Amino acid sequence: MVEAALDVEGMRKTYGSGGKALVAVDDVSFSVQPGEILGLLGPNGAGKTTLIKCILRLVEPDAGAVRLFGEDFSQRRNEMYRLVSAVLEGARNTYWRMTVRENLAFFAGLQGISPRRRRAFHDELIERFGLTEKATTPVNELSTGMKQKVAVACAFARETPVLFLDEPTLGLDLHASYTLRHELKQLAADHHRTIVLSSHDMDVVRDLCQRVIIVQRGRVVVDDQVANLMALFRTEAYTIRLAGAAGDDVRRRLEERFVISDWQTEGGETRFDATVADAGQLYDMIDVLRSSGLALAGISRSEPDLAQVFLRVTQGESAAVKEVAR
Ligand SMILES: Nc1ncnc2c1ncn2[C@@H]1O[C@H](COP(=O)(O)OP(=O)(O)OP(=O)(O)O)[C@@H](O)[C@H]1O
Ligand SMILES: [Mg+2]
48 lines ligand 1 (CB under 6 A): yes
Q: Is 246 in contact with 240 (CB distance < 8 Å)?
A: no
- Using pLDDT thresholds of 50, 70 and 90, give the confidence band for residue 326: very low
Distances (CA, A) of 92 to 40, 41, 50, 67, 110: 21, 23, 17, 27, 17
Q: Is 169 in contact with 201 (CB distance < 8 Å)?
A: yes
44: CA distance to ligand 1 center in Å?
A: 8
283 lines ligand 1 (CB under 6 A): no
Q: Whose CA is nearest to atom 12 of ligand 1?
A: 24
Q: Whose CA is nearest to atom 17 of ligand 1?
A: 49
**Hey, what domains does the chain have and what are their CATH numbers?**
6-226 (3.40.50.300), 235-301 (3.30.70.260)
- Nearest ligand 1 atom to alpha carbon 48: 21
- Using pLDDT thresholds of 50, 70 and 90, give the confidence band for residue 281: confident
Q: Is 70 in contact with 105 (CB distance < 8 Å)?
A: no
39 lines ligand 1 (CB under 6 A): no
- pLDDT tens string 201-223: 888 898 899 999 999 999 999 99
The pLDDT score that the predictor gives to residue 227 is 85
- Nearest ligand 1 atom to alpha carbon 16: 4
Which amino acid does the sequence have at 5?
A
Q: Is 125 in contact with 156 (CB distance < 8 Å)?
A: yes
Q: Classify residue 18 as exposed, middle or buried by CB count within 10 Å of its CB (0-12, 13-18, 19+).
A: exposed
89: CA distance to ligand 2 center in Å?
A: 6
